[in-house]
Structure 1
Amino acid sequence: MKRYFLLFFLIFLLFACKKETKLEQNDWQKISQNVEIKSDGHFLKLKSGKFNYKIPTSKLPFKRIMLLNASLVGYFTELSLENKIIGISSPEYVYSKKIHQLLKEGKIQNIGNEQKYDLEKIIALKPDVIFTNYIASFDNTYDLIKKNGIEIIFLDEYLEQNPLEKSKYLLVIGELLGVQKEATVRFNEIKNSYDSLKILAQSSSVKPSVLANEMYGNEWFLPGGKSNLAAFVLDANASYINAGNPDFKAVPMSFEEVFAKSQQAQYWINVGNHQTKKELLQINPNYAKMNVFNTGELYTLTGKEERKSNDYFESGVVRADLVLKDYIKIFHSELLPKYNLTYMKALK
């Protein structure tokens, strides 16, 4: 009797496991606070911000891609999908050498810029899909493209404040372009690298004070305490001067407010794309009053910059681990003695 009971129990367990696995496949996979994705075999469903997509799997994977903003390029170069791109806007802001080679060969077309997209060329090229950030003022342009049977998918990665959730958009691209396994492997590598670096940073007993960004006009847009920048500084085991602020976005402050907050700052990061401290002073002489300007260390985002393009805003969007590694090298250089900065550069 015991044998029959055990056999019955194992069969029940087997079916229960199968049922659970099937349910997991049909559940929404959370990419971030803004993006979720799932497949039911017939449709790939995507939630991206306020937009919902239901794409027949018969139309996947997408083979002919257009990109309307450079910040999404990094996901395609990370997965070696450059050959799927047939059109790109504002190529002068793209860093990838392979993209520029394909442009030179005519395999990727320049489709204009945000001031004036070449709609005739876009429609004539008949892409399977266009990926872009959503800009409300372009609704008429989007509607015209959609009326010509072209799918537009809005991916607003710049809204993500968790560094690894930004990297995780790789899984969305993987699903839509049929490289799910490659995307999963690549994301896991980035995540494991990031997590290891975070643990390494915590091994330092020093926690320096950090200031970020610079003034534009009469306001200093200081990233909020829940921002992407604040997350990087925390994970790099440093103390961000605006960490107590509850905002996700940058907070406009006067010079006097930032001056008061940054008295103990030892590092000043993300100081635009300036070449020298002298150049920085020419923009705002008040910087000379700041202790961090006179005795601290300043770093710009010009480590991989070429003409109008900057790889920090391209591959750096995806490679959260390398961005974190740069910050750890800056704040705790003894932990990474042989590492040279990737995206950052000391301002002299």
Structure 2
Amino acid sequence: MDKWTFLACSIFISFFLSCKNENPADSSTEIRVTDTLEVKYAKGFDLKTIDGGYRLTINNPWPSSTDTLQLDFHRIANIGDVNIPIKKLIATSTTHIPPLVLLQETEKLIGFPDTDYISSPEMRKHIDAGDVEDLGANEEVNLERTIALVPDLVIGYGIDADNPTYERMMYAGIPVLYNGDWTEQHPLGRAEWIKVFGILFDKEKEAFDIFNQIEADYLAAKASVKELEKPTVIAGATWKDVWYLPYGNSWQGRLIEDAGGSYIYKETQGSGSLSYSMETVLKDAQTADYWIAPSQYTSYSQMLADNKSYELFQAFEEKKLYTFALRQGATGGVIYYESAAMRPDLVLQDLITIFHSEPGENRELHFFDPLTD
């Protein structure tokens, strides 16, 4: 996670303290809410229009959180509000990059931790031109440089409630938006966070239009395979003798099912990852038809060098493994990690192509590739 501090400004302290409570609206009762904007899939935020701007409520800003955080965005900002459109933004995760690209606001990014992870060609032009400050590694952010940038807003994320530097930053008056897109379990729920980015740049209509198109394409692709036979699918790989896989109700599990696949562990529910032994997965999934996203492996020879037992799986023997790790940006960032959350329609199209193409068909893939030898 990336963290910053700034000059103390006591007038902001009471505002941000009031934001972090069970009924944040009590702190701004003088502001009239005029409408509630539609949020169809995402569970992590709510949006309302208020006089001259928007009210954003972040629900459960990190896993297992019971907190609610609120930010008001105004075109003519009062003390304690965030002025929109945002002109200077710091982001902390590559998943924050695609919304900037889709909304054509890439020039607003002024800082990012370890810019080599960013793959977007549009954003790399700004980075290469020196317009985006590299703020260092995630846990060692250059605080002096961050202070000098004077951002209008920092988009962060929380793994848990232990976020002391974010809290110090809020006390100091720098607005922080906790982005919880990565906790959404529905694929379209993750993509729907573009609506949050839309209000930052006062581009509500554009953001809703982009999401509506992604949703329409996703649902059309899902419907196209509804009546087809479902091949069985396994995912993941071992790390230090433990095989990590997505839960059946997870983002990845939902994508496999919506693509017309039958995920071996589709009945499981939870957050995080399943963790099984090689023996358990071999018993459950030895005859699975396809194997998706085998960790960072890009070749069959790599896998065999690590564990000869992989060759016992039917999908391995028939060379039906597909990886996202081969597609990287100019500086080594994995494109899937950056863009897949915002483009579940393209991920779904890839999986449908993998599961349901006829032999000899050569359909375009956006994120996945067959493993090399």
- Are residue 311 (structure 1) and residue 321 (structure 2) matched? no
- Could you say which structure has the larger radius of gyration? 1
- Indicate if the aligned counterparts of 1:123 and 1:148 stay in contact, CA closer than 8 A: no
- Are residue 55 (structure 1) and residue 77 (structure 2) matched? no
Q: Which residue of 2 aligns with 1:157?
A: 181
Q: Which residue of 1 aligns with 2:114?
A: 90
- Indicate if the aligned counterparts of 1:304 and 1:310 stay in contact, CA closer than 8 A: yes
Q: Which residue of 2 aligns with 1:244?
A: 267
- Are residue 258 (structure 1) and residue 286 (structure 2) matched? no
Q: Mapping of 1:106-255 within 5 angstroms? A: 106-136=130-160, 139-204=163-228, 206-255=229-278
Go from structure 1 to structure 2 and tell me whether the alpha carbon gap of 1:117 and 1:192 turns closer, same or farther (over 3 Å shift): same
Write the distance in 2 (CA, Å) between the matches of 1:278 and 1:112.
34
Q: What displacement does 1:55 show?
A: 1.5
Q: What displacement does 1:336 show?
A: 11
Structure 1 vs Structure 2 CA RMSD: 2.2
Residues 298-339 of structure 1, C-alpha deviation per residue, up to 9 Å, x if partnerless?
A: 011135213430111112110110000000000001499453
Write the distance in 1 (CA, Å) between the matches of 2:144 and 2:291.
46
Q: Which residue of 2 aligns with 1:34?
A: 44
Write the distance in 1 (CA, Å) between the matches of 2:199 and 2:127.
26
Q: Which residue of 2 aligns with 1:341?
A: 365
TM-score by length of 1: 0.87
Q: Which residue of 2 aligns with 1:284?
A: 307
Go from structure 1 to structure 2 and tell me whether the alpha carbon gap of 1:79 and 1:154 turns closer, same or farther (over 3 Å shift): same
- Indicate if the aligned counterparts of 1:51 and 1:154 stay in contact, CA closer than 8 A: no
Write the distance in 1 (CA, Å) between the matches of 2:358 and 2:227.
11
Say which SS state the counterpart of residue 309 (structure 1) adopts: coil
Residues 91-140 of structure 1, C-alpha deviation per residue, up to 9 Å, x if partnerless?
A: 11110122222122221111122121011111111110000211448623
Q: What displacement does 1:270 show?
A: 0.7
The answer for unaligned runs of 5 or more in structure 1 is 1-22
Write the distance in 1 (CA, Å) between the matches of 2:73 and 2:205.
20
Say which SS state the counterpart of residue 197 (structure 2) adopts: helix
Q: Name which of structure 1's ranges 36-45 and 238-247 shifts more when overlaid on structure 2.
A: 36-45
Write the distance in 2 (CA, Å) between the matches of 1:338 and 1:175.
40
Counterpart residue identity of residue 199, structure 1: A
Write the distance in 2 (CA, Å) between the matches of 1:112 and 1:346.
34
Write the distance in 2 (CA, Å) between the matches of 1:126 and 1:106.
17
Write the distance in 2 (CA, Å) between the matches of 1:341 and 1:303.
12
Q: Which residue of 1 aligns with 2:22?
A: none
Write the distance in 2 (CA, Å) between the matches of 1:109 and 1:35.
29
Q: Name which of structure 1's ranges 69-78 and 262-271 shifts more when overlaid on structure 2.
A: 69-78
Write the distance in 2 (CA, Å) between the matches of 1:226 and 1:264.
22
More helix by share: 1
TM-score by length of 2: 0.82
Counterpart residue identity of residue 52, structure 1: L
Write the distance in 2 (CA, Å) between the matches of 1:257 and 1:244.
16
Runs (4+) of structure 1 exceeding 4 A deviation are 335-338
Residues 41-96 of structure 1, C-alpha deviation per residue, up to 9 Å, x if partnerless?
A: 25632222234113241212211110112121122112221011111111111101
Say which SS state the counterpart of residue 178 (structure 1) adopts: coil
Q: Which residue of 2 aligns with 1:272?
A: 295
Say which SS state the counterpart of residue 312 (structure 1) adopts: helix
Say which SS state the counterpart of residue 280 (structure 1) adopts: helix
- Are residue 297 (structure 1) and residue 320 (structure 2) matched? yes
Go from structure 1 to structure 2 and tell me whether the alpha carbon gap of 1:324 and 1:333 turns closer, same or farther (over 3 Å shift): same
